[in-house]
Structure 1
Amino acid sequence: MVPFRRIAVRADSEISMLIKSLARRMVTLPQEHDSFASALFEESLLKMFVILVLRACIHAEQHRAQGSRKHLMMDELFVYIRTHITEEITLEQLEQVFYISRFHIAREFKRQTGQTLHSYIVKTKLDLCCHYIEQGRPITEVYRLGGFGGYNHFFRAFKQEYGMTPKQYFRSVQKDAHA
């Protein structure tokens, strides 16, 4: 027994209609076997049938690939953000890098992750800053290493995310280290 798998291909209505019509015509061919050039006609119908089925498969594969491209783009986006986290990352910049509209990037990111791209970037930068604070680096150095443009922006984002100032976080890390 030869193993095989079945795949259902949903063709658009025009291709589907043509395939059904050709299939019906091919079923009635044995009745016309003695007609002039019946073998040539039968071969032509079979070729047209195969071509239409292949077109339907290619169309289905392209449609499936477009859906997976979105996930691929998101994976590439996460990698890009991680490698450039210490830099300023803008939607305009991402649009230039990925050749995809900034509006599409923002919409897809929100749809697939449930958060805005900006909040993800800020949280990722804050995670990096927490790592630096846990290493004992000075707060004035941490915000620069984390890619924040200024201390005020870093301070507000940190307090909003963690409910404490960076210095309070530093003290709590030191307490935990001594305990």
Structure 2
Amino acid sequence: MQELYSNLQEVISFSHSVRYNPAPFDFHLHRDQFEIYFFLTGHVHYFIEKQVYPLQYGDLLVMNSNELHRANFQSKQQRYEVIVIHFNPSMVDVFSSPAFPLLDCFINRPPGEQNRMRLSPQQIDSIMKLYERMEALQQPQAPAGSDILYVSAFIELLVFINRVFQGQDKQVEKAIMPDKLISLLAYIDENLDQDLSLDRLEHVVYMNRSYLCRLFKKHTGSTIHEHILFKRIARAKQLLREGSTVTDTCQQSGFNDYSNFIRTFKKVVGLPPRQYQAMQRKG
């Protein structure tokens, strides 16, 4: 518990940002952190795994560390305002109860499904008050004891979000992506250790590669190559957590070149594979 308070901003990172005409974001794949994303303004479709969520004011998204995601801006000139919290899930267990696990909404669902919670006006008002409290408590001039209240407000936020999650309709949202892209994304997920070149993929979905690439970019905001790369890194993280050797992980996640795997993993995750695996064991 002492470590929590000594590294509080690293364990629970709060950000309220406003940007005008934001530049496109790359895919996100956090090393070990979970994310709470609260949308305020902009024209955004949010891509998570195989789902695209058109966002409106007050939408709340939750994502675990293995869910590939990115904001896809639908307008070049816009005001983009969000509140984002990244947190280390390992610190939450001590606050959970057997009857009410605080990570339920992050892990008790299929990847890329049920990420979005559409809040009522009353729920938006409630969550905004929690966010305003957290924002005030993290200021440098906040009085003594504010760090304790900051953690308390965050735990209250997790309780609130999980109550919303448990009360929402668990039906899978209707996809707004073409069926061809849904099939393509499923094929990529199931064949990460196989040949996923454009030569191969255009025959999988029976579509000209140029049109396929344009369609993919339109709906996800990214390239097929970038998507495959990040999916392979996500698979590598999972394999390393499960105890696979670095060599086996390289092969099973679809990297044919060992040195390229080491270099790419470190660039995306921030640590080389062996060090990442050692940290998982230590945790």
TM band (smaller chain) = 0.5 to 0.7
> Which amino acid counterpart does residue 121 of structure 1 have in structure 2?
I
What's the CA shift string for 1:17-44, capped at 9, x where partnerless? xxxxxxxxxxxxxxxxxxxxxxxxxxxx
Unaligned runs of 5+ in 1: 1-67
What's the CA shift string for 1:107-144, capped at 9, x where partnerless? 11111111111111111111111111001111111101
Question: Which of 127, 141, 145 matches 2:234?
Answer: 127
CA distance in structure 2 between the aligned counterparts of 1:145 and 1:94, rounded to whole angstroms: 19
With over 3 angstroms needed to count, the CA separation of the structure-2 counterparts of 1:69 and 1:174, relative to structure 1, is closer
CA distance in structure 1 between the aligned counterparts of 2:218 and 2:176, rounded to whole angstroms: 15
> Which amino acid counterpart does residue 106 of structure 1 have in structure 2?
C
Identity, % of aligned positions: 28
What's the CA shift string for 1:119-175, capped at 9, x where partnerless? 111111111111110011111111011111011121121111111111111111111
What's the CA shift string for 1:59-82, capped at 9, x where partnerless? xxxxxxxxx996111111111111
Residue in 2 that maps onto 1:100: 207
| TM-score, scaled relative to structure 1 | 0.57
- 1:152 counterpart = 2:259: yes
Residue in 2 that maps onto 1:25: none
Residue in 1 that maps onto 2:276: 169
Residue in 2 that maps onto 1:82: 189
* Backbone CA RMSD of aligned residues: 1.7
With over 3 angstroms needed to count, the CA separation of the structure-2 counterparts of 1:114 and 1:69, relative to structure 1, is closer
Q: How does 1:1-179 map to 2 (within 5 A)?
A: 71-176=178-283
With over 3 angstroms needed to count, the CA separation of the structure-2 counterparts of 1:69 and 1:101, relative to structure 1, is farther
CA distance in structure 1 between the aligned counterparts of 2:199 and 2:232, rounded to whole angstroms: 19
Unaligned runs of 5+ in 2: 1-174
> Which amino acid counterpart does residue 77 of structure 1 have in structure 2?
L
> Which amino acid counterpart does residue 80 of structure 1 have in structure 2?
Y
> Which amino acid counterpart does residue 145 of structure 1 have in structure 2?
Q
With over 3 angstroms needed to count, the CA separation of the structure-2 counterparts of 1:70 and 1:135, relative to structure 1, is closer
Structure exhibiting the larger radius of gyration computed from Cα positions: 1
Q: Would you say the 8 A contact 2:177–2:219 is kept in 1?
A: no
The alignment covers a number of residue pairs equal to 109
CA distance in structure 2 between the aligned counterparts of 1:88 and 1:152, rounded to whole angstroms: 19
> Which amino acid counterpart does residue 120 of structure 1 have in structure 2?
H
With over 3 angstroms needed to count, the CA separation of the structure-2 counterparts of 1:113 and 1:175, relative to structure 1, is same
CA distance in structure 2 between the aligned counterparts of 1:135 and 1:84, rounded to whole angstroms: 19
**Structure 1 stretches (4+) deviating beyond 4 angstroms?**
none
